[in-house]
A = this chain, B = another copy of it.
Amino acid sequence: MDSLDPSSDSAPAEGTRPTLKTIAFMTGLGVTTVSRALKDAPEIGEETKRRVRLVAKQIGYRPNRAGVRLRTGKTNVISLVLDTEEDLTGFVSDMIYGISETIAETPYHLIVTPYSRRNDPMDPVRYVVETGSADGIILSRTEPNDPRVAYLLEHHFPFATHGRTAIGEDHPFHDFDNRAFSAAAVRKLVELGRRRLALLPPPPDLTYHQHMRDGFSDAVQELGATEVAWSGISIDDPIDVIRAKTARLMRRADRPDGLVAASGGATFALVAGIEEAGLTLGSDVDVVSKQSSKLLRWYRPELWISQEDFRLAGREVARAVLGRIEGRPVAALQSLAAPGEVVSCRMPSTT
């Protein structure tokens, strides 16, 4: 009964990776049947499916990604578009860990597509879309009218952003509630008796700059405090610049007695600047900072911090792209993370 045609039914070579053909040969079925059995198609008999699955498991069959990709266009890849300038906060690694957690049980791989802030941020996005090198894209550092978002929407390419845009209803995102953070920070400072407050904000082009400003200004106004204008600075400035500008600010006659910092990394420079100006943290001035890594906690005991969880952000934003790829409605793929409570760094520990 054996087929004598050597072209299609021959036994597969020994040392090579098993393919559908291997299973087909072992089960005596056709390649097509095996393919469908493995994806649990309704037109395959239960008994057959079990047999195929058993053999597949036994010989450790793993579908060849190149084959699938060539045939279907599906890459099973998520591209994380990353700005490769200094990352003082360590947010990138946490984000990657979070993304990894989400895609761990899926067939997706994570591929890092880097670009330099100094080049065109559109480059990596265009590259991925044009070459179809991923099924979905994760963006960070989003701007209110982000051209990358516009481009991706226009090309109907699945993506999710870390941070919102001005066209937020139309695409999946995950964001930290920076408005709530800065408002809570102001509240804490006022509670501490501070009245003249200033903000060390994110770079002005990013969306969350405005969120943080809004939360800050609204809370200041609502609580009857005063906002001390501090312009031409952001947490993305070089660390020495932040220190120098902070020192200059704190030497002004109208200096603030309360500061809110948008990132943990910048806070190191901020505090250094304060001390350089001869002022004492906790008595002359209080500082509330976001932190992502755990290190700020040990910097100065007088600091106040609120935690931002980038691992969570990674998990969420990955969930969002995957959802988008599967065609789920956008509304279900938007989430906001509440800031951690503003807590003191004064040793609350035992041991």
Q: Looking at chain A, what size class is its interface with the partner chain?
A: 35 or more
* CA–CA, A82 and B93, complex, Å: 10
Q: Does A90 contact B (CB under 8 A)?
A: yes
Given contacts A17-B132, A96-B96, A272-B298, 15 further A-B contacts (CB under 8 A): A65-B69, A70-B70, A87-B97, A88-B294, A90-B90, A90-B293, A91-B93, A92-B96, A93-B93, A100-B112, A110-B111, A112-B112, A265-B293, A265-B295, A269-B298
Within residues 104 to 118 of chain A, which ones have a CB less than 8 A from any CB in chain B?
Answer: 104, 109-114
Residues of B close to A92: CB separation below 8 A: 90, 92-93, 96
Residue of B nearest to A112 (CB): B110
Residues of B close to A97: CB separation below 8 A: 84, 87, 114
* CA–CA, A125 and B70, complex, Å: 25
- Copies of this chain present: 2
Interface string of A62-86 (1 = CB under 8 A from B): 1011110110000101000010101
Q: Does A222 contact B (CB under 8 A)?
A: no
Within residues 247 to 273 of chain A, which ones have a CB less than 8 A from any CB in chain B?
Answer: 265, 268-269, 271-272
Give A contacts to B, CB under 8 Å: 17, 60, 62, 64-67, 69-70, 75, 77, 82, 84, 86-94, 96-97, 100-101, 104, 109-114, 130-133, 239-240, 243-244, 265, 268-269, 271-272, 276, 293-295, 297-299, 347, 349, 351
* CA–CA, A243 and B295, complex, Å: 12
